[in-house]
Chain A
C-alpha cells in the first residue's frame, strides 16, 4: 500500500523566528496589518508499507534523526492513503 506522508516542521513556541517577523514587516510595507505571523516547513513524500503504524514509526524516526532538530523544532506527521 502506498501512503502519502506530510511532515510539518515548526519552531517551538517562544523561539525567535526571524523569517516570520521579516514577512510581517514586508506585509506592513504593502499596507497589510497582520499579527502572529508564523512559518512552517512542509516535507512530503510517499512510502510503500503494509500498515500505517509502521509508516508512522519510521517517519517519527526520520524526524528525530534528520528532518527536525529537537532543540528548536516541533513536528506533526500527517499520513493519508
Chain B
C-alpha cells in the first residue's frame, strides 16, 4: 500500500504530508511533476505550496503538467486523490472538482487557525468524523475564496465537504472550503490537515484525513 506525494517546483508542504502519511500508518513516495504513470500507487496527495510561483493563477501551470495524466488515471481507477491548499487550487484548475479557489475577499495572505464543519463524512478522507462535527485546522492562503457557478448542483450531490464555522476568513461562497467530485474520491480542501496532525501542533484533527485514506485502501 503506497500513497504518492506530488511535487512541483514551488511545493512546500510535501515533506509535512509525507511525514503525516507515515504517522497515519501509510507508506509514502514522492512523485515529481514530470512523471505521468504511477498506476502502482493506491492514492495520491497533492500538497500545498506555490507551484510555479502561482503565475497566471494559483495552480494554473501545475494543472497542465504531465503528472496530471497520471492523476487522472488514478481517478479512473477509483483511487483516492486529496488536494490540500495549492493542491486544492490545482484540482480546481484541472476541473477534477467543481469551482475554483481565487483571490481572497481581503486580498492578503491569511494564516490562522479556523473552526470547520465536516459537511460530508462519506468521503474516504472524512469518514473518521461525524457528520457536521466541528474540527480545528489552520488555513494559509491568499487565493482560497471558493466560487462556483452552480451551487445548487454542488448541494444536491453532497459535494460540499468542509465549511468554515463562524468566521469566514476569505469570502468563500457559502463558507465552502472543501469540495469533492461526484464520487467523493477526489477531494480539494484549503485548510491544512497535515499541519493539524499532532497535538503538539495545536490539533490532531487533520490526521483523520490521512487515516481515512489509509483505511480506505
- B99 in contact with A66 (CB, 8 Å): no
**Contact among B61, B105, B147 for A72, CB-based, below 8 A:** B147
Contacts of A19 in B (CB 8 A): 103, 107
| Nearest CB of A to B188, in Å | 14
Number of interface residues of A (CB under 8 A): 11
How far, in angstroms, from A15 to B103 measured CA to CA in the complex?
Answer: 11
Tell me if B93 is interfacial: C-beta within 8 Å of chain A: yes
- Tell me the residues in window 10-47 of chain B with beta carbons closer than 8 Å to chain A beta carbons: none
- B105 in contact with A16 (CB, 8 Å): yes
B-side binding surface: helix, strand, loop or mixed?
Answer: loop
Contacts of A72 in B (CB 8 A): 100, 102, 147
Tell me if B64 is interfacial: C-beta within 8 Å of chain A: yes
Tell me if A37 is interfacial: C-beta within 8 Å of chain B: no
How far, in angstroms, from A66 to B148 measured CA to CA in the complex?
Answer: 18
- B56 in contact with A66 (CB, 8 Å): yes
Most buried by A among B60, B93, B102, B107: B102
- Tell me the residues in window 1-51 of chain A with beta carbons closer than 8 Å to chain B beta carbons: 15-16, 18-19, 22
Tell me if A54 is interfacial: C-beta within 8 Å of chain B: no
Quick one: given A71-B100, A72-B100, are A65 and B105 in contact (CB under 8 Å)?
A: no
- A65 in contact with B149 (CB, 8 Å): no
- A69 in contact with B106 (CB, 8 Å): no
How far, in angstroms, from A69 to B93 measured CA to CA in the complex?
Answer: 7
Residues of B that sit less than 8 Å from A by CB: 56-57, 60-61, 64, 93, 99-100, 102-107, 145, 147-149, 171
The 10 A-B residue pairs with the shortest CB-CB distance, nearest first, are: A18-B107, A71-B100, A18-B103, A66-B64, A69-B100, A18-B105, A19-B107, A72-B102, A69-B57, A22-B107
In the assembled complex, 25 residue pairs joining A and B whose CB atoms fall closer than 8 Å, in A order, are A15-B147, A16-B105, A16-B145, A16-B171, A18-B103, A18-B104, A18-B105, A19-B107, A65-B64, A66-B56, A66-B60, A66-B61, A66-B64, A67-B56, A69-B57, A69-B60, A69-B93, A69-B100, A71-B99, A71-B100, A71-B147, A71-B148, A71-B149, A72-B102, A72-B147
